[in-house]
Structure 1
Amino acid sequence: MMVEVGALAPDFTLSDYDKQPVSLSSFRGTRHVLLVFYPFAFSGTCTGELCRVRDELAEYEREAVQVLGVSVDTPFSLKAWAKEQGYQFPLLSDFWPHGSVARSYGVFNEKSGMANRGTFLVDRSGVVRYAEVNGPGEPRDQGAWKKAVAALP
């Protein structure tokens, strides 16, 4: 079941592409968090979506929003992808236990063993203010994220 708007976001700790732990709760009280679940590094739609986030990162940073990308890829593949694409925000590995964080947000695709395209905006207090899930092959409307960010207190 997908985490709904108004619910407390499930906390987690995952390794980034440098194998450093990143916890959602570490941003509580200081920054909002945009969680961007995506199927796989190096895939076409995912690359396009995250490159747009990369290109617009300053807009999120001005609004005190930390972007976190999450997939079931290994930290090694995430590091190579981040380097290739110039991503300056953390990409987190939900590799093992396989997809456990994606499952807690209701975006794990059991049939394919990957995360669906889930987007969650979590405010500074840890409450979900925006939630959207797109299935495989369905790109996201990133304009909706920006409206949700603009509506944050």
Structure 2
Amino acid sequence: MYPRLFTAAAFCLIAVASSKAEEDSHAIFRRAEAPKEVRAAVTCDEADDIITRDAFAGGWLWQSKCPSNHANFIKAQIFSRDKNGKDAKLIRFPVPRGTPLEEISNVEFFPATREFNSLFVNPEDESVCRTEARWIAQNALKPKLVFWRETKDCDGKKGWRVLKGRK
């Protein structure tokens, strides 16, 4: 009986520790409660009262929602080494041509591989409706563009042009 009790107690302690670690790696702030350095790094107009913080690349990734159209959920990505955002800086994402992006849309990020994926849809643009991109951030503030493709087809079923990465 005691071995089962010991096993159950150990399981509970591990579950609580795991839950605490999860809590520490993700946080949600009202904009007014987020560090002023993080708020100052955001260049887009504010679209939401929420800023999130997640563990990323040996520091912290802060995300702030920006205005967007009905097809996109656009966010500014801010990085700080300090958990309280004291050294917060906006991450700029290089593109195949033109000025780096200060916000990216419909973002997936993967802390273990330091990747950002983005999908942008703009039905009002007749030349390029859908864009998909991937960056790897070995240096969190200088992500490297590794893949970029675009198409006129808003559904993304045909007509892709690969501008960066494998075809």
Which structure features the higher share of strand residues? 2
The TM-score normalised by the length of structure 1 is 0.27
Greater Rg over alpha carbons, structure: 2
Answer 1 or 2: higher relative contact order, Cα 8 Å, separation at least 6.
1
